[in-house]
A and B are shown apart, each in its own frame.
Chain A
Amino acid sequence: MTATTQDHAHHEAEPTGLKRWLVTTNHKDIGSMYLLFSLAMFLVGGAMALVIRAELFQPGLQVVDPYFFNQMTTMHALVMIFGAVMPAFTGLANWMIPLMVGAPDMALPRMNNWSFWLLPFGFAILLSTLFMPGGGPAGGWTMYPPLMLQTGTAFPFVIFAIHVLGISSIMGSINVIATILNMRAPGMTLMKMPLFVWTWLITAYLMIAVMPVLAGAITMLLTDQYFGTTFFSAAGGGDPVLYQHIFWFFGHPEVYILILPAFGIISTIIPAFTRKPLFGYSSMVYATASIAFLSFIVWAHHMFTVGMPLAGQLFFMYATMLIAVPTGVKVFNWVATMWRGAMTFETPMLFALAFVFLFTIGGFSGLMLAIAPADFQYHDTYFVVAHFHYVLVTGAVFAILAAAYYWLPKWTGHMYSERLGQWHFWLSVIFVNVLFFPQHFLGLAGMPRRIPDYSVQFADWNMISSIGGFGFGFAQLIFVWLLYKCIRGGQKAEARAWEGAEGLEWEVPSPAPHHTFDTPPVVR
């Protein structure tokens, strides 16, 4: 593949310094900015989680006021979802999709720049609400009215910030779809695309479908607050539950937006380190598409306790249980890929294996939550908190970390320190379970979520959970240090950094040159 090392005379001289990053239209630069921004937000959101765990370390209030505690739970979720996980996936998409499909850049490079640069401003607004009179939003990231309407000065700023983040996501998705559908190398048919590209294509459609729904829901909140509408107020003929239906029509596809690209990452990494092709490629694609379809018809399982008609409860219970089938197919395929492979256990593989194990545990608790009558007990307890942190932290976040380790050699041209990587992995995987596993017990024993203080029978597991939280949090600093070292130097990475790695991204040198695939490669 010599197409990548030709001369770049037709490119204009590129600005350097700060301006390079401000005006860049290069997918690699923008991808790096997305990833670093996401890491920063991960640390900010993590700091908020530590405030929460510090307060919950013991019964009684020791650290923060209950109202500030509620701001922390709300902001932690918004920052982690919209600031850490989604931008990390978009960063990976920016970096890897053009390389994986043999395209020179994303289809819409200027829009790409704008969709990134909206994020820092969106988050500056969102985080600044913590310092406004009346504090930041404290009604939970789901922003249910009428509680959300009690927010102080921060209210319109929060809604504006979420609009900005939504616009950024939609533009990012349009870009991904345009790139995948139009810029694949000759010979790369849809069913030859790497799974990461497939899962992102489906994710992008989900985002375009549901981000406007979220925008609609929060705009209705805004007009209820300031313009005299009563969409969500019974006093004017509206219904607070209507908001929940609209929100979760966005919210459930949203949780798949947070996990489908992770499926793609795991489906890339496991074959590379088992030195064996992915088992059931086409069933992986169909399973992803099925999950995406089902995500639109299960939203009310988040609301089993709002008092739906029996028929509604039954429908949403059955539809939700169905999701276990395609998700099961994926897990079985990953295990079948490992079966009779020749595995090695470098850091990306360790995170991928931990993903398969721990995400599946999150899937199991998800199946339990699907059983509507049992959900009458589980709902709004720490059991739910444990469930979604298993799928989002040991699921989405572990996949992102696996991806970072896997592609760092390609991005930086250096191998990361395997020793630090192993430390990071083992500390993370131990502490994350100390952190979240006891939360299953707490929920089942009767502890509701989103409370700053609890009765004393919950004290033991909360203390253990908090110890896990601090351990997990500080373990992430190893990753920051490893990243710093890897960017600065290290053992030179080969073009194909991993023995079993497959795909066009490994055909270009490491680090990937600023411009790649100016002439498309040919895929057989």
Chain B
Amino acid sequence: MRMTTANGLIGSMALALFSTTASADLGLINMTRGVTESSRQIYDLHMTIFSITVAIGLLVFGAMFYSIFRHRKARGVKPAKFHHSTAVEIVWTVIPLGILVAMAVPATQTLIDLDDTSESEMTVKVTGYQWFWGYEYMDEDVQFLSRLDVDSDRARRLGSGVEPASVDNYLQNVDKRLVLPVDTKIRFQITAADVIHSWWMPDLGWKKDAIPGFVNETWTRIDEPGVYRGRCAELCGRDHGFMPIVVEAVEKDEFQAWLAEQRGETGATADAAETNEDEQVGDALASR
């Protein structure tokens, strides 16, 4: 048994090294551009600040390595005696300050945009639970819970014997997706029922903490239909790693049809839906 594990480890180690070089895919090492205007702004900010640091790094490390190769005792150099230069010190204080100001301008603009939830066309309330998400389409009488799908849940148990790679979207699939319309300004109201969670959808460009007793607001406008996957980002206890988020973005008319279908399923009145969610949470908590 021990031998097989060791062999397995060595084998997979070699495989990993090989497959990493083989599948050198930029998507795996960089931030996603996402599918919203904000997420693209954030990606651009990320790449700009990254490029600035690379440029500064090349200069500083260039000087450092030049010095390491040229100014070494083994080459018989005599050390210089200088120990300060006010002019140089002012220059390398002021220039970085200028770069920072230049960087702060677009960052401020993006931050202001992200903060503006006005003129939203619909509202989704997100509630974090240990360890699943609850979604409520405000004024639409549609609400449901969204949990890790059964296949992942089975495979992720300690010593389950199920190979994660064999599970479809291991740990990033849910039993019921959050369906959202494209080209619609959607306001999110995010809260939690027990401890702090954080609702993170990389393709939307942000995460927002879900805090019990408080409601955080933010918004998005999705450009492209598709299925997007995210996860809880704030440590929330034992199964923090096992509460994924799946958003399915669809065309507006498809979304309306989906809503109607949901209303048919979950009962006619708001009261019924209300009890329904409480019961669902109760069931979910009891079954964990």
Which residues of A are interface residues toward B (Cβ below 8 A)?
57-62, 64-67, 70, 138-140, 144, 146-147, 150, 233-235, 239-241, 274-283, 305-307, 310, 313-314, 317-318, 321-322, 324-325, 328-329, 331-332, 335-336, 338-345, 353, 356-357, 360-361, 364-365, 367-368, 371-374, 376-377, 379-381, 440-441, 444-446, 448-457, 459-461, 463-464, 467
A138 to B50, CA, bound (A): 34
The 22 sampled A-B contact pairs (Cβ below 8 Å) are A66-B240, A66-B242, A234-B212, A305-B206, A307-B217, A318-B104, A332-B60, A335-B64, A340-B71, A340-B79, A340-B80, A343-B73, A360-B61, A364-B53, A367-B49, A371-B45, A441-B28, A444-B29, A453-B171, A455-B164, A460-B19, A460-B20
In the assembled complex, B158 has its CB within 8 A of some CB on chain A: yes
Residue of B nearest to A235 (CB): B213
**Hey, which chain A residues are within 8 Å of B232, CB to CB?**
448
A139 to B236, CA, bound (A): 8
Q: Is A338 a contact of B67 with CB atoms below 8 Å?
A: yes
A325 to B94, CA, bound (A): 8
Q: Which of B53, B85, B104 contacts A317 (CB 8 A)?
A: B104
Known: A66-B239, A276-B79. A460 touches B16 (CB 8 A): yes
A150 to B195, CA, bound (A): 9
**Hey, which chain A residues are within 8 Å of B103, CB to CB?**
321, 371
Which residues of chain B from 94 to 132 have a CB within 8 Å of any chain A CB?
96-97, 100, 103-104, 107-108, 110-112, 114-115
**Hey, which chain A residues are within 8 Å of B208, CB to CB?**
305, 307, 376
Q: Is B78 a contact of A342 with CB atoms below 8 Å?
A: yes
Known: A341-B71, A445-B27. A307 touches B209 (CB 8 A): yes
Q: Is B211 a contact of A306 with CB atoms below 8 Å?
A: yes
Chain B: minimal CB distance from A18 (Å): 41
Q: Which of B72, B78, B88, B163 contacts A336 (CB 8 A)?
A: B88
Known: A377-B206, A461-B20. A444 touches B213 (CB 8 A): no
Q: Is B237 a contact of A150 with CB atoms below 8 Å?
A: yes
**Hey, which chain B residues are within 8 Å of A335, CB to CB?**
60, 63-64, 67
Q: Is B200 a contact of A448 with CB atoms below 8 Å?
A: yes
- Measured as residues with beta carbon below 8 angstroms from the partner, the interface class of chain B is 35 or more
Chain A: minimal CB distance from B272 (Å): 27
Q: Which of A60, A233, A280, A445 contacts B30 (CB 8 A)?
A: A445
Chain B: minimal CB distance from A317 (Å): 7
Chain A: minimal CB distance from B186 (Å): 16
**Hey, which chain A residues are within 8 Å of B46, CB to CB?**
368, 371, 374, 377
Beyond the given pairs A240-B214, A353-B64, 14 more chain A to chain B contacts, judged by CB atoms under 8 angstroms and listed by A's residue number, are A59-B165, A139-B237, A144-B196, A282-B84, A332-B92, A335-B60, A338-B71, A341-B77, A364-B56, A444-B31, A445-B30, A455-B172, A456-B170, A459-B165
In the assembled complex, B262 has its CB within 8 A of some CB on chain A: no
**Hey, which chain A residues are within 8 Å of B164, CB to CB?**
58-60, 453, 455-456
Chain A: minimal CB distance from B171 (Å): 4
Chain A: minimal CB distance from B40 (Å): 11
Q: Is B115 a contact of A373 with CB atoms below 8 Å?
A: no
Interface string of B54-93 (1 = CB under 8 A from A): 0011001101100110011110011111111100110011
Interface string of B17-52 (1 = CB under 8 A from A): 101100100011111100000100110011001100
Among A360, A377, A457, max chain B CB count under 10 A is at A377
Chain B: minimal CB distance from A182 (Å): 29
Q: Is B107 a contact of A61 with CB atoms below 8 Å?
A: no
A59 to B97, CA, bound (A): 44
Chain B: minimal CB distance from A303 (Å): 8
**Total CB contacts across the A-B interface at under 8 A:** 295
**Hey, which chain B residues are within 8 Å of A239, CB to CB?**
213-214
Known: A140-B235, A444-B31. A372 touches B78 (CB 8 A): no
A319 to B108, CA, bound (A): 13
**Hey, which chain B residues are within 8 Å of A463, CB to CB?**
12-13, 16
A139 to B194, CA, bound (A): 14
Chain A: minimal CB distance from B16 (Å): 4
Chain B: minimal CB distance from A224 (Å): 13
**Hey, which chain B residues are within 8 Å of A310, CB to CB?**
111-112, 115
Interface string of B182-211 (1 = CB under 8 A from A): 000000000000111010101001111101
Chain B: minimal CB distance from A471 (Å): 12
Q: Is B156 a contact of A147 with CB atoms below 8 Å?
A: no
In the assembled complex, B280 has its CB within 8 A of some CB on chain A: no
**Hey, which chain B residues are within 8 Å of A138, CB to CB?**
237-238
A278 to B112, CA, bound (A): 44
**Hey, which chain B residues are within 8 Å of A372, CB to CB?**
107, 111
Q: Is A325 a contact of B72 with CB atoms below 8 Å?
A: no
Which residues of chain B from 207 to 225 have a CB within 8 Å of any chain A CB?
207-209, 211-214, 216-217
A281 to B84, CA, bound (A): 8
Q: Is B156 a contact of A453 with CB atoms below 8 Å?
A: yes
**Hey, which chain A residues are within 8 Å of B81, CB to CB?**
276-277
Q: Which of A60, A146, A341 contacts B163 (CB 8 A)?
A: A60
Chain A: minimal CB distance from B78 (Å): 6
Residue of A nearest to B54 (CB): A364
In the assembled complex, B251 has its CB within 8 A of some CB on chain A: no
